Amino acid sequence: MRYALHAEWTKLRTLPGLGWLPLLAIALTVGLSVVASAAVSCRTGCDQDLTQVSLTGVDLGQAVLAALAVVVISGEYGTGMVRTTLAAVPRRPVVFAAKGVILAGVVIPVGVVAVLCSVLVARTTLPGAGVVLSEGSTVRAIAGSVLYLALVALLSYGIATVVRDSATAIGIVVFLLYLFPILAQVVSSPDWQRHLRQIGPMNAGLAIQATKHLDRLPIGPWAGLGVLTAWAAGALLAGVLLLQFRDA
Amino acid sequence: MTSYTPTVTPGRDGFPALIRAEWTKFRTVRGWLIALAVAALIVVLVGLVSAAGSHRSCVGPHGRACPASVPGPTGPGGEPVSDSFYFAHQNLVGDGSVTVRVASLAVVKPDSPQPGDDTTHIEPWAKAGLIIKQNTRQGSAYAAIMLTGSHGVRMQYDFTHDRAGSSTARWLRLVRSGDTLTGYESADGTQWTKVGSTHLNGLPKSVPAGMFVTSPQHETVSQSVGSFSTSGFGTTAAASFDNVSRTGSWGQPGWHGSAVGDGPEMIQGPDGHGLTQSGGTFTMAGSGDIAPATGGDNTVEGALTGTFAGLIVLIVLGSMFVSTEYRRGLIRTTLAASPHRGRVLAAKALVLGGVTFVVGLVGSALAFLIVNKIRRSNGVPVQQVATGTEVRVVVGTAVVLALSAVFALAAGAVFRRGAGAVVTAIVLLVLPYILAIASLLPVGPAQWLLRITPAAGFAIQQSLQQYAQVSAWYAPPNGYFPLPPWGGLVVLAAWTAVALGLAVVLIRRRDA
């Protein structure tokens, strides 16, 4: 396992053209968070969840990290490298796990930087007290956002292992993430809206960012992250099974 | 010794042959044909899911189902309108005029104000003045000259037309001469200025004419990340008129007061609602509006919500149409067969654009017809729009899909890798739309994204019209785009053209 990890880390580290993806993810996350925070005005009392607003960029940055996660596996299928990899480490679940660990090891630090920068920069533009970092709910929102990004990356990784083509996998991931918020916006029945927000990986997972009006959420913060975890686990399971039992 | 003479005539390398070659490449990859079918199908399927979640599910008292939804009144142009006001009228027979001074226009405090209601300010578009209407049914043709809460004197007719007068006049006059209605204003009752005039075709000889007052809903919007909610309450305005004078022949001896429509506060009670007369002063109160209806609920383009999903499929397809040639090395064969590299890309763009337009048109037309039919049969009051608008929405959606696919193709040629091209196209095309529509961004940044990114093209789907004379929440989550429909499409087309130009430059300069 240690050699597999080392090999995967070397591959990810030395692949040209991948370095800009984490940077782009950080830039988009922080940029959108700042834009969203700057647009907040408190003329009628700040009832808005400012912590959540200052983390808006996660909605956008996740797409780039998902692309990174997809390329980790489907890039190997594109070039045929996967056959070399599997010849070197014939135990395929080990390869799969090693890639997943390395991916999480990259996404989590990137997420920490993106989320912390978002909150800190947004604090300078938010009105009033802004985001109080010492509050428990704020810590939950920040740490939860990082976990959210990692889980989205793992979900994308699982899907990419199933479909093996980068372009298709990115399309499926984006579709899966953003379908539910759009549908919840257009259906008029409140029951459907609530259920769509409960089962969608993005809506449910992002419940972790809420710090105010928790009783009005369609799903609780940790339960929501649990839903996303279930999605990711399902995708990873499908990925590892297909990797194990399919020709590469 | 015999010299070799080729018996096969050399192939033509004209543009039609190139197109044929690209078309052959496209149609012989089974996965791409499946992707095309999926793109059309997914537009319909997402629409079906949204229709399934949008039935009127309400149970009335004693477990009885709600009455079938009644579509609101429609104006002379067929557009949905609000038409509720208090009307003190007589029948004007033939030509004539009526003149009044608006002595006061003020808000009426509700009997039981809700907390948070602002009950001290008159609505900016509260209206009091003179109106001549085809009949007293809602939605019939009219012309009116009025004083508004804070927009001065206005001449309005047939709901969608609005002309500004001065901000100081209090005297109003409305003149009928044949089918022509003309509004005048005056600050002192002697010096009169024309504000505007209009022809109302088919106006009967005898028409209700007189004084009116109304005051629109007060709406507030609260937006949080991922959702928004509008809340509103009805307002009532009271107006008093004096110096009433008329010319021409009038039907009845006195003024008859009645409510047109069902404004929420249109009760005739002892506290000044209804018409009272003392001396030469007439006082009345009314609630509602005489204006085109606004609001993003149940728009016809709601049936095309799945467009973004079909778009994702076509983006993947478009970028793969080039990037797989690079991956498999086929691009070298292609460029050897046709050394004019720019023309190769043009042929690819034409084939892809044509195919995706046809498939997109099938998908959007099917989704539009089927989903709207289901919504209507579920009791959802889907807004009625002109046929021309419906065609623009459906065909425009297909154009957006085709342009986006060509944009992705250009990105595929620039990046030469599927992943980079798909990420770029999705970040530029799909995400701005989603962030704006799903209310994930505040309105200001959302509108900017929909102006400058290629996602501006989605504006072609907007069936709603924005009216300066109606205050409403004109924001992307509510179905209002910052650019006009064709303007938005031009932005998308410009992005596509620039991307294609960049791709042509790069494919010429770089080794394949």
Q: Report residue B138: phi and psi, to 5°.
A: -65, 140
Residue B226 is predicted with a pLDDT of 65
Out of B225, B442, B477, name the one closest to residue A185 (CB): B477
Record: contact B422-A178, CB cut-off 8 A? no
Q: Which residues of chain B carry a pLDDT beneath 70?
A: 1-2, 5-13, 55-71, 110-119, 224-227, 262-273, 295-296
Q: Summarize pLDDT for B178-232 with one digit per residue, the tens.
A: 899 999 999 988 899 999 999 988 889 999 999 999 988 887 777 766 667 777 7
Structure tokens at B346: 């043009």
Tell me, letter by letter, the H, E, C secondary structure of B263-296. CCCCCCCCCCCCCEEECCEEEEEECCCEEECCCC
Q: Tell whether B400 lies on the interface with A, counting CB pairs under 8 A.
A: no
The SS3 call for residue B104 is strand
Residue of chain B nearest A71, judged by CA positions: B419
Helix (H) or strand (E) holding B449: helix B443-452
Given a cut of 80, whether residue A6 has pLDDT beyond it is yes
B-contacting residues in A 104-163 (Cβ below 8 Å): none
Record: contact A185-B439, CB cut-off 8 A? yes
Residue A154 is predicted with a pLDDT of 97
Residue B112 is predicted with a pLDDT of 61
Higher per-residue pLDDT: A49 or A102: A102
Residue A141 is predicted with a pLDDT of 92
Out of A28, A56, A188, name the one closest to residue B225 (CB): A56
CA distances in angstroms from B331 to B298, B317, B321, B405, B504, listed in the order given: 48, 17, 11, 19, 14
A-contacting residues in B 265-284 (Cβ below 8 Å): none
Q: Summarize pLDDT for A104-153 with one digit per residue, the tens.
A: 999 999 999 999 999 988 888 776 666 677 788 889 999 999 999 999 99
CA distance A46 to chain B (A): 11
Whole-angstrom distance, CA of residue A147 vs CA of residue A153: 10
CA distance A173 to chain B (A): 10
Q: Summarize pLDDT for A65-77 with one digit per residue, the tens.
A: 999 999 989 888 8
Whole-angstrom distance, CA of residue A129 vs CA of residue A48: 12
The SS3 call for residue B247 is strand
Q: Tell whether A60 lies on the interface with B, counting CB pairs under 8 A.
A: yes
Maximum average pLDDT range among A207-211, A225-229, B444-448: A225-229
Whole-angstrom distance, CA of residue A71 vs CA of residue B417: 11
Record: contact B440-A17, CB cut-off 8 A? no
Whole-angstrom distance, CA of residue B79 vs CA of residue B463: 11
Q: Tell whether A64 lies on the interface with B, counting CB pairs under 8 A.
A: yes
CA distance B76 to chain A (A): 29
Record: contact A167-B431, CB cut-off 8 A? no
Record: contact A63-B222, CB cut-off 8 A? no
Q: Tell whether B238 lies on the interface with A, counting CB pairs under 8 A.
A: no
Pick among B422, B428, B429, B443 to test the A interface (most A CBs inside 10 A): B422
In B, which residues are within 8 Å of A214 by CB distance? none
Q: Report residue B448: phi and psi, to 5°.
A: -65, -40
Residue B60 is predicted with a pLDDT of 43
Residue A233 is predicted with a pLDDT of 97
Structure tokens at B31: 């996965």
Q: Tell whether A168 lies on the interface with B, counting CB pairs under 8 A.
A: yes
ipTM confidence: 0.87
CA distance B142 to chain A (A): 34
Structure tokens at B199: 């022809």
Tell me the residue length of chain B. 512
Q: Which DSSP letter does residue A97 get?
A: H
Residue B417 is predicted with a pLDDT of 85
Q: Tell whether A31 lies on the interface with B, counting CB pairs under 8 A.
A: no
Structure tokens at B184: 């005048």
Is there a contact between B470 and B306 (Cβ–Cβ < 8 Å)?
no
CA distances in angstroms from A8 to A74, A101, B315, listed in the order given: 14, 9, 30
Is there a contact between B114 and B158 (Cβ–Cβ < 8 Å)?
no
In B, which residues are within 8 Å of A28 by CB distance? 427
**Cα-Cα-Cα-Cα dihedral sign, residues A124, A129, A135, A138:** negative
pTM for the predicted model, two decimal places: 0.85
Query: What residue ranges in B23-67 does DSSP mark as E strands?
Result: none
